[in-house]
């Protein structure tokens, strides 16, 4: 139980959710290209670590397909009209994974589909790790308040690099070098710094040289 409260991560008990990163949002959601770029590298790392992936599309006839730069062309897409990603095929996939403890959540919009999905997952007793630099909204006020609401509800707020390092746990991991290449450069700016005050004390400090044993390799 202590591990669950701490939000420990393991590839074998995690699944990545990619929520509604679709064409029609390209010009309306703040920092959309950067958010997709971050989500794409999380997806690539999860492929390396054999973490299962679930992709949804909100009303795809109206809002278009998942953007190609995400790199999810070969993955099935689950259409939906409700805000939560937990449509019946996704529910079935979760039920088929009895060892699942953690969902890694990326996508849009934070105050709508991300929040609704996270609350449904928390209701099921799952740990939810919201990758804050891979989530956005049209309004930055909505984004900030939704992140605060997610934190209040028990979701873990994390960054893409922190998430991937927690999945690896050790520089001796057999896929470390492959994932290291994905996070060697800092993630693109997705406009989070001005929002941190709204989230309350988060701890941490400005980014310096990597302390995880990979900077000079």
pTM given for the model: 0.89
Residue among 106, 113, 127, 133 flagged as catalytic: 113
* pLDDT tens sequence across 117-143: 999 999 999 999 999 999 999 999 999
Question: Is 184 among the residues known to form the active site?
Answer: no
For the chain, give the mean pLDDT. Answer: 90
CATH number at residue 68: 3.40.50.850
- Does the residue 103 lie in any domain? yes
Percent of the chain's residues with pLDDT above 70: 89
Residue among 80, 106, 120, 127 flagged as catalytic: 80
- Does the residue 203 lie in any domain? no
- Cα–Cα distance for residue pair 192/136, rounded to 1 Å: 9
Q: pLDDT-based confidence at 201, cuts 50/70/90?
A: low
The residue segments making up the domain with residue 162 are 2-6+15-187
Shortest CA distance to 157 belongs to which of 208, 120, 118?
118
- Cα–Cα distance for residue pair 73/53, rounded to 1 Å: 12
- Does the residue 151 lie in any domain? yes
Question: Is 113 among the residues known to form the active site?
Answer: yes
């Amino acid at each position: 139980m202590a591990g669950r409260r701490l939000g420990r991560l393991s590839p074998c008990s995690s699944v990545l959710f990619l929520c509604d990163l679709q064409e029609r949002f390209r010009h309306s959601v703040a920092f959309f290209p950067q958010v997709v770029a971050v989500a794409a590298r999380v997806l690539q790392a999860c492929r390396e670590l054999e973490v299962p992936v679930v992709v949804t599309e909100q009303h795809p006839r109206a809002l278009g397909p998942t953007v190609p730069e995400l790199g999810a062309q070969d993955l099935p897409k689950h259409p939906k009209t409700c805000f939560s990603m937990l449509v019946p095929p996704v529910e079935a996939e979760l039920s088929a994974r009895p060892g699942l403890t953690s969902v890694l959540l990326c996508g849009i919009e934070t105050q709508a589909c991300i929040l609704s999905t996270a609350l449904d997952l928390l209701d099921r007793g799952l740990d939810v790790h919201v990758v804050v630099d891979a989530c956005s909204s049209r309004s930055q006020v909505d984004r900030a308040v939704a992140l605060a609401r997610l934190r209040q509800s028990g979701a873990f707020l994390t960054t893409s690099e922190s998430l991937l390092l927690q999945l690896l746990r050790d520089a001796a991991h057999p896929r470390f070098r492959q994932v290291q290449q994905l996070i060697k450069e800092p993630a693109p700016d997705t406009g989070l710094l001005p929002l941190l005050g709204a989230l309350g004390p988060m701890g941490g400090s400005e980014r310096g040289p990597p302390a995880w044993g990979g900077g000079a390799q």
